[in-house]
Every structure is written in C-alpha cells, then in structure tokens.
Structure 1
C-alpha cells in the first residue's frame, strides 16, 4: 500500500474517531442534564384531563411539597385549599374566585401564602377560591372557570395572568403536554384539539426530557427527514391570534358577569422582567382594549415598579425551591404585596365596598345566581 493511500486511510480514521468522540460527548452532556434536571412539581399534583389537558388531582395532600412546611393541598373540587368549597356562600362572606396560572396557584409557597389566600387576611369578609393551575394559558383558565362558574356562587372574579399566558393559547401543547385550543366560529368561541391527546401522560418521562433529547444532532436530523421543516408561527402571528381569542374570552365573561351582577377584573401580574420595560405591546393593547370595552383592568406592575430594586428582588423566588421553573415566581412577600395591592384597588371601587358592607351588616351571604 502506497504512503499516499495510507495517509488517506489515517485521515479518514482520525475523522471518524473525532466524529465518534463528538457524538459520545454530546450524548454524555444530554444524559448528565437528564439526570440533574429538576422535576416538574405539576407532575406530582396534576393528572390528565380530556378537556383541559391537565388539572389538579382531587384531595391531594402534598406535605412539604415545596420545602419544609410548604404544603400544597387541593380539595375535592380540585381547588387549592385545605377545606371543601361549598356551593353556597357562607353567611357574612363575599366569595372571590381567582383564576390563572402558577402565579395564581402559588408555585413555591404554602397554601395560606398564595396571593389569593392572602386576600382573606386583608379582609375576613372575603372568601377566596383558588383556581390557579401551573402552565395554564388564558384559554385553559377560561375553560376551567366555565366548568365551575354556574355551580359555585360568587360575586367577584379575578382573572389573573402573566403576559406569556396569552402566547400559550397559540399552541396545542405546553411543555410537551397536550392542551385544548380555542378558535372562533363566527362570533363564538369553539374548542378544538379535544379530547386532548393522552400520549404525553403515557410517555411522561420521555416528554419530560424531550427538550433535552432535541439537543442531539441525530434527533434533529431524524425530525427533519421524517416530518420536514416544521411551520412555526412568528411572533406577529401568535400575538394577532392571541388577541382575537383573548378579546372574545374577556368579552363573553364581561357580558355574563354583568348579567349576573358580578364584579369582573382582569389582573395583570408582573414577572420580574416586566419591571424593567418602559413599554409593552401587550400591556398597551390591554389598556386600550379595556378602555374601549369597559373592562376593569388592574396592571400591578404600576405598584411594583415604584419599589427600589432590593425590595423588588425580595418579591420573587430564587433557586431555593427544588423544581423546574420555580425561580421567578412570587415569594411569600411577593404574594403578600400582590394581595395588598389588589385589595387596595378593589376597595377603591364603590361596588366592591357595597358588597363588603352588605355582608358585614346583614351577616348573610352575598351570592349570585
């Protein structure tokens, strides 16, 4: 064999060896991430739901779920609570229903330290009911509320959200788990992608690590060959769709609440990044839409942005809670700040003050049909 041919074989062998090492190194990195990646807390206290995608387990007792003395309980109705929720409002109380995502659920804090629960600490006349659920978009929060709305009497509905909850509506999955999708059928909302595919719950371990597997070049190539280049909506398309659906969701809720004599409030909960932005397209849109439609819109970034940075930092969790995406949620102090700010805004309204005064004076339940 000539020297030239031997040199060629050697170069090929070296190249193949380098490719093999590169592949093994890639696999090792991904495997290490899989072993060290934090779990999703929702996998412990939720289960599959054909219409919503996932929902809290009923009567779940998560002792020390988020850490020592940081318990998460749900009642028979799947609400975050330590006691059952009656259909009728107790005498002398005004029931307020809080809907939203993990910021409403109270990710990382104990049952009594969520902002929804702390409304009762601001005023014992209020009876809060927590329908927060981790990972929910505006669509799922709306659908779960629709499921229980007529069954449980209440006079105030706080529909809370972070900006990202609007963009979640544009997809039929979140974190790899299937979810319903809202669409417009004329001037009415229609629910699609139901029953929600159950595959994600049957293959939960694979879905949990799916985002890491996609780091492997082999997986990327196989996806491209089998499915082709996926179509991904751009930010403008996502926002356009989400605004149309959100406008219909809020309009339908506003009409129903007005018919039943309830107070309906949209509550924009700020994540930390919101406090450094001078403007936000979504906030600008919501301010404009609320003014045109007559919705009550509370943007709590206004109160938070007035605080010095060290006080802002204390309102959010760091990495002390051992679950994925816990950092950035409200701490106990953050939840207290939200509850206090909300209570101040609510009681600045004549209709809310009248509800509270009526309940206190008559010692009879203030309920709706």
Structure 2
C-alpha cells in the first residue's frame, strides 16, 4: 500500500512538473502571455511597443546624431524639450516653453505679470493644439499676464521641481503654478519609467528624490549620462541593476523579477515565473499610497512641494498648486464624494500652500461621465482645457 502511495505521489509530481514545463516552453516561451510580459524582465521591456523605443535608442547611439525623428533625452531631467524645436505639432520657444500667444520676451516687462507653469502633460496640454491648451487660453484672456508653459509629458513633481530650478528660475516669474495630476504620483519613486508604468511608450530613465533620516530631500541623479550610456545600460541586465543601485522602488521590491534571466530557480518553472510576475504587479493603486500618510509617496509629495514653497518664496514668486485630475480620479470622486488625493491637499493647505482644485468644476461640467472632455489618449480635450482655464481665470484678478 505504501509503495502504491509513493508511486502515485511520484506520478502526480512528475505530471505536475511535465505540465509546468509545457507552460514554461509553450505558453511562456516568448516571454509574453496575452500581450503582457512575464518575469524575469531581462531586458526590462514590457510590451512590444517599447521595442520600438529600444531600437530608436540603439539607432541614435550608433549614428551619433538625432536622426530624422525627435528624440527626447536630457541628462539631468531624463527628457525635456529642446528649445526652439517642435515635438510633433507642439512648438517650443527659446526658453523651452510651449509657444503661446506672443513670443516670451527675454527681458520681463514691468507691466506684465509673468506666470511660470510646471507639471506633467496635463499642464503641457498633450493632445490639443498649442492655442487650445489652458495656459495659452489664459494668456490670451489677459493683456496683463504672460505665461511660460514648462510642463512636460510623463513628469513627476520631482522633475517639475528640477525643471523649475534649471529652466524656470531664470525666467524670473511673479508666480509659479505647479500642476499636479494625482494619478501620476507614483512616478516619484521610480527612476525607470516602464518599471512604474509597464505600458509607457517612452523608455527612459529619470532622477528622483529620497528623504533622509533628518527629513531632507536628497537628489538621486538621472542614472544615465548620455544616449550611449542608456543604450549600454539597457543592453545588460547587470548594468541596468547597477545603474539603478536600489533606488527604483518598483525594481527594488521585486529583485527576482528583475534578476538576470536564469539566475534563480524560479525562472526555470512556468508557475515560478507567473508568481514573480503577479508579485511584481502588486500595490499599484495610487489611492492606497495617497491615503497612507506614512507612505514614501505621501511624504515625498509633502517634501517636494515644501521645497517648491521655499524656493519660489526665495525667488520672490507666489506659488499656487493646481490639482488637475484625470478621468479615473473624477469618476472616483463622483462615486465616493471625496477625492482620494484630498488627504494630501489638506496637508498642503495646513502647511500654508495655496491649493486650487479643478475637480469640482470638471465634475459639474460632466467630465466624470461624458467623453467630450477627454482626448483619445486620456488627456484633457479642447473642452476639458476650456473648463480648466475658466476655473483658473479667476486667479488672474482681471
């Protein structure tokens, strides 16, 4: 009887191993399952569209020239516009600001209030024409104000602060408007864009801040210094991990998922690879991070905006923080009656930060239910930009 049990157990184990290897070599042999990448992520590319970006990096490194297509790379910020050069249909001036009603003067006029806008694509105005973005609409609405739109797609507040320091401060603004999309907050703890957002089209690295034991911000610079360096880092998993040096939260918390392929026994089993993939995808709901006042994301948001407050005050400028929610955030607000980001904005207001939340006006206009406020890629449409401009026009004291 005992022998039969052992034999049965051996058959079950053998069958299980056989099925696991079929899963490994047949279903997971390509490294993808239903279009999604399966761990280990060596190389750290998550969907076929990123292969195009990888080939562009290789081509630019090989040719040592910008080539025929725009290539966003900035050794300090990760990516940024090249002053005077367009990105698609978007035009940028000598300061790297998106072009507005009139060219931004190199010398400020005493009778104009200069407002510098920094933030992500919801500040820049992705997916609409130059003249349809809300900073342009405000510029056109007032002859006594001029706007310098230094927003940039896929930026976190950390990059917005660094861009203000480098590109915004020399413009000597009277006011600084910091646009914040709550759903983008998890960008603060990454240094490799696709690790935080697997479906990101752009394969790039970025700087980030960490908080010291004393509570100060410590800058971790962009881990790649050039396009050639980026190509080398993405060509070797060992160099990739060395470049990040444990500073990307998404990579650091799932080391086996990013380990060189075959370096751990879990990489050799189908179920092991599936388990690593699911483990790496965990805890990516931004609301959970923003509702937890002890989370690293929450603490970084407070610290970065506090740095903005100190630096703009030192520059003699007024800081205003604009909440620019995406559609998912508005749907959540309409359902719950309170935005998941309000724990953060409440803390900012207690610290003396002037917060202008565009959410209520957007919800009132139907943006939580209607598609007309949204462009195909999820940014504000012409109508969405118009609503935001209406809210913010009250700040101009016309």
CA deviation string 1:134-163 (max 9, x = no partner): 110110011111113431121111100111
Q: Which residue of 1 aligns with 2:224?
A: 196
Deviation at 1:241, TM superposition (A): 1.0
In the alignment, structure 1 residue 34 sits paired with structure 2 residue 48? yes
Q: Are positions 1:182 and 2:209 aligned together?
A: yes
Match of 1:350 in 2: none
Q: Residue in 2 aligned with 1:242? A: 297
8 Å contact kept, 1:86–1:152: no
- Provide the C-alpha distance between the structure 2 equivalents of 1:191 and 1:163, rounded to a whole number of angstroms: 22
Query: Which residue pairs with 1:111 in the alignment?
Result: 130
- Quick check: 2:367–2:373 contact (8 Å CA) kept in 1? no
**Cα 1:282–1:149 shift into 2, 3 Å:** same
Kindly indicate whether the alpha-carbon contact (under 8 Å) linking 1:87 and 1:151 is maintained by their aligned counterparts in 2.
Answer: no
Q: Quick check: which one's strand share is greater?
A: 1
Report the secondary structure of 2:364's partner residue: coil
Work out the CA distance in 2 between the residues paired with 1:103 and 1:120: 17
Please state if 1:79 is matched with 2:105.
Answer: no
- Alignment pair present for 1:297 and 2:297: no
* CA–CA distance in structure 2, aligned partners of residues 118 and 38 of structure 1: 35
Report whether the alignment pairs 1:317 with 2:375: yes
Please tell me whether the aligned partners of residues 160 and 268 of structure 1 are also in contact (alpha carbons under 8 angstroms): yes
TM-score normalised by structure 1 residue count: 0.70
Query: What displacement does 1:35 show?
Result: 7.2
Secondary structure of the 1:136 match is coil
1:48 aligns with 2:73: yes
The alpha-carbon deviation at position 223 of structure 1 amounts to: 5.0
Distance in 2, matches of 1:335 and 1:38, equals 31
State TM-score, norm by structure 2: 0.65
**CA shift for structure 1 position 90:** 2.8
Q: Distance in 2 between matches of 1:307 and 1:222?
A: 48
| CA RMSD, Structure 1 to Structure 2 (Å) | 4.2
How many aligned positions are there? 311
* Partner residue in 2 for 1:213: none
Q: Retained in 2: the 8 A contact 1:77–1:84?
A: no
Deviation at 1:94, TM superposition (A): 1.2
Describe the shift of the 1:109–1:206 C-alpha distance in structure 2 as closer, same or farther (beyond 3 A). farther
User: 1:32-61 CA deviation, whole Å, 9 max, x = no partner?
Assistant: x73799989x99545222221111122213
Structure 1 unaligned runs (5+)?
1-10, 66-70, 208-218, 319-326, 348-352, 357-369
Tell me: higher relative CO, structure 1 or 2? Use CA pairs within 8 A at least 6 residues apart: 1
Residue 177 of structure 1 aligns to a residue whose secondary structure is: coil
Whole-Å separation in 2 of the counterparts to 1:189 and 1:309: 36
- 3-state SS of the aligned residue for 1:56? coil
